[in-house]
Structure 1
Amino acid sequence: MMNRTFLLFLVLTLVVGQIMAWRYYPVCNTPC
């Protein structure tokens, strides 16, 4: 089973990735 720490790290990584993508590609709302 996956522990809570791993899930939290995974969610945080995805959120940071989305923020970085929106920051560097502001005109692209969908994954290019």
Structure 2
Amino acid sequence: MEYKIGMVLDGTITGLQPYGAFVSLSDTVQGL
């Protein structure tokens, strides 16, 4: 899937830090 700025996606929060949240969008796609 190609992700574009402004897209709304469903994900699972996998961690929280003072600078942001880590999110898993699929088994192979994770980000901050």
User: What band does the TM-score fall into relative to the shorter chain?
Assistant: under 0.3
Larger RCO, structure (CA 8 Å, separation 6 or more): 2
Structure that is richer in helix per residue: 1
TM-score computed with the length of structure 2 as normaliser? 0.16
Structure that is richer in strand per residue: 2
